[in-house]
Amino acid sequence: MARLFKNGKIARADSADFRTADVLVNNKGVIESLGASLSVSEQVEIIDCEGCLLVPGMFDLNVHGREPGEEHAETLASCAEAAIHGGVTGLVLMPDTTPPVDSGNLVKSLQDLVSEVGSIRMLPAGCLTKGQKGERLAGFSGMVSRGIPMLTDSGNSVPCPDLLRRCMEYARDFDVLVATSCDTAALSKAGAVNEGKVSYRLGLPGIPAMSQEIAIDRNIRVAQHTGARLHLQQISTENAVKSVASAKEAGTKLSCEVSAHHLLLTEEQVVDYNTHFKLSPPLRIESDRAALVAGLIDGTVDVIASNHSPHSDFEKSADFGSAPFGVTGLETTVLAIYDGLIKPGVFGWDLLIERYSKRPREIIGLDPVAIEEGARAEFFVFDPNAETEMKRDYFKTKSPVTPFLDKTLAGAIRQTVV
């Protein structure tokens, strides 16, 4: 059935101003018309959006879907539900499944699983190294032929710079994006939180900021030497932002991402050994958080990516040192950023749409989505005057492990149209 979204205000990436208009979506999912006070037949469902915003669907470049292999934590179906619930209408699946997606055949197998879900665009990425072990190249040719959007070992850094060089050289020749997590294992060791006063106070092994920063500088140098397109996953420090800015100024083919958690939280929130705050990279200090926000605003930081990393309550119930890194993010990112940054006036909806909808799609060669006549309907209805209680029964993910659990966030996503 066709649907008419009445009385809403349309948000967009190219303007901080909203356009007041009705939006008619036909029964084929296309925006048929857009204008003031549209009149329709009785066969059209009318959704009153008074006081609400219509926002283009977000796109997440860093999602761990867990299937196949860890369906106890998440399935592709529950991942898609969580994404839609959080206003995300497309995403890239990290290849750290069981087995890892390191060949054309495994890409095809995951694409077949995704096609059975079918509700949103979910694009499988491929591994840089075989089995994500950092020892030899994965099967680039077969994976590229299947249309992967990027090559990445997701949460694992490639330890050998010569192997990383060869990865980038092959990726350059195939014209495919290389995405890297940046960590220096010899420095991180068995760390659990940011190295500093909180790690000392809690008696936990720390992960120094330079562990990420050294790896970032190395990866940038390799990208500059090879001419490959490089995307840095989950940067978290002030010096990381400076390195990215310097490399971009030098003409490096470079982009980077940050999570909502690192934009909003610091190590000071890690209290009572609550594993819902155990993230990779770890939460840093306030000056790092502020630098990430500033970098997002000035364009040094290209995109927001949730790093949605679901784990079961059982896994996260271990002691802080033993519990796995990672939390969910698909259902919290938009709400948390609205609550913590947009509503207080740090930046507007236009920047969020640019960094979490438009630019992520552009980085992997997709066309941005917009709310305009003739376009495929791909947007969500956001009520800025409501509140959302982040209780367990709110979540569609199988693993509602998040720093925002039991918090009340400003705003509410009323529905997502795909």
Q: Is the pLDDT of residue 121 over 80?
A: yes
pLDDT the model gives residue 41: 78
CA distance 138 to 132: 8
Quick one: pLDDT at residue 43? 87
Share of the chain above pLDDT 90, in %: 97
How far apart are the C-alpha atoms of 229 and 350, rounded to whole Å? 26
pLDDT of residue 257: 98
- Report whether pLDDT(380) > 80: yes
Q: Which neighbouring-strand residues pair with 232?
A: 180, 256
Q: Can you tell me the distance from the alpha carbon of 312 to that of 327, in angstroms, rounded to the nearest whole number?
A: 10
CB 61 within 8 A of CB 364: yes
In the prediction, which pLDDT does 381 show?
Answer: 98
Residues 121-134 have a mean pLDDT of: 98
Contacts of 112 (CB under 8 A, 6+ apart): none
Q: Which long-range contacts (CB under 8 A, 24 or more apart) does 190-199 make?
A: 190/321, 191/282, 192/278, 192/282, 192/320, 192/321, 193/267, 193/270, 193/278, 193/282, 193/283, 193/320, 194/267, 194/282, 194/283, 194/284, 194/285, 196/267, 196/285, 198/267, 198/268, 198/270, 199/267
Categorize the per-residue pLDDT at 219 as very low, low, confident or very high, splitting at 50, 70 and 90: very high
pLDDT at residue 345 is higher than 90: yes
Confidence of residue 61 (pLDDT cuts 50, 70, 90): very high
Is 58-363 in the same CATH topology as 3-53+375-417? no
Task: Quickly state the pLDDT bin for 38 (edges 50, 70, 90).
Answer: confident
Amino acid (one-letter) located at 398: K
Percent of the chain with pLDDT over 70: 100
* Position 153 confidence tier, pLDDT thresholds 50, 70, 90: very high
With CA atoms as reference, report the closest residue to 281 among 296, 300, 259: 259
Mean pLDDT of 234-248: 98
Sign of CA pseudo-dihedral 27, 49, 369, 292? negative
Q: At the topology level of CATH, where does 58-363 sit?
A: TIM Barrel (3.20.20)
Residue 3 has pLDDT above 90, yes or no: yes
- Could you tell me how far CA 415 lies from the centroid of its own chain? 20
Q: What are the extents of the domains in the chain? A: 3-53+375-417, 58-363
Whether the per-residue pLDDT at 37 is higher than 90: the answer is no
For the cut 80, the answer to whether the pLDDT of residue 42 exceeds it is no
- What pLDDT score does 190 carry? 95
Tens digit of pLDDT for each residue in 301-341?
999 999 999 999 999 999 999 999 999 999 999 999 999 99
How many other CB atoms sit within 10 Å of the CB of residue 272?
7
Query: What does the angle CA 334 – CA 335 – CA 337 come to, to the nearest 5 degrees?
Result: 65
The CATH code belonging to domain 3-53+375-417 is 2.30.40.10
pTM of the predicted model over 0.85: yes
Segment 20-48 mean pLDDT = 91
Contact (Cβ atoms closer than 8 angstroms) between residue 346 and residue 378: no
Q: In whole numbers, what is the pLDDT of the chain averaged over residues?
A: 97
Band of pLDDT at residue 40, cut at 50, 70 and 90: confident
Q: What number is the average pLDDT over the span 221-228?
A: 98
pLDDT score at 1: 87
Tens of pLDDT along 105-114?
A: 999 999 999 9
Beta bridge partner(s), residue 206: 193
Is pLDDT above 90 for 118? no
pLDDT band at 39 (very low <50, low <70, confident <90, very high): confident
